[in-house]
């Protein structure tokens, strides 16, 4: 069992959300270790390697991107603009067709199959 480097108590496996402030990106479900006593969070070598692999793949993965946007309107419809980083990651361009559906409280957008 891994011991906390701050207080020496046991640490348990958990998942955290990691914000990269300068990039305005959140990486979700990053594996980590959390101290059950003092709350200190750290990563094992394997977890850190996994996390850095996620960061390296950010440019090709939209699942790891989390961006805040404000909706606008056009008559009775709402408009959501797709940020350039996400459009690039999905290889989307003007006039491309997409599929949109609702999954619980989430709106899913995928490039339509050719």
Among all chains, which residue has been given the structure tokens 């408009």? 79
pLDDT of residue 62: 44
Residue spans of the domains in the chain: they are 11-60, 72-111
Residue that wins the pLDDT comparison between 78 and 89 = 78
pLDDT of residue 10: 92
Domain 72-111 = CATH 1.10.20: no
pTM: 0.43
Residue 100 in this model has a pLDDT that exceeds 60: yes
Residue 87 in this model has a pLDDT that exceeds 90: no
Torsions phi, psi for 100 (to 5 deg):
-130, 135
Largest interatomic CA distance in the chain: 61
Query: Pairing state of beta strands 77-79 and 72-74?
Result: antiparallel
pLDDT of residue 37: 93
Is residue 39 classed as helix, strand or coil in its secondary structure?
Answer: coil
What is d(CA 91, CA 96) in angstroms, rounded to the nearest whole number? 9
The token pair that represents 106 in the structure block: 């989430």
Mean of pLDDT values over 13-31: 78
């Amino acid at each position: 069992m891994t011991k906390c480097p701050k207080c020496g108590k046991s640490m348990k496996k958990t998942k955290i959300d990691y914000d990269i402030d300068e990039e305005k990106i959140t990486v979700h479900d990053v594996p980590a270790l959390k101290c059950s006593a003092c709350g200190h969070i750290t990563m094992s070598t394997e977890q850190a390697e996994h996390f850095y692999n996620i960061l390296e793949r950010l440019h090709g993965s939209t699942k790891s991107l989390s961006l805040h946007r404000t909706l606008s309107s056009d008559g009775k419809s709402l408009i959501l603009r797709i940020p350039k980083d996400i459009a690039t990651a999905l290889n989307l361009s003007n006039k491309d067709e997409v599929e949109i559906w609702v999954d619980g409280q989430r709106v899913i957008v995928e490039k339509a199959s050719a």
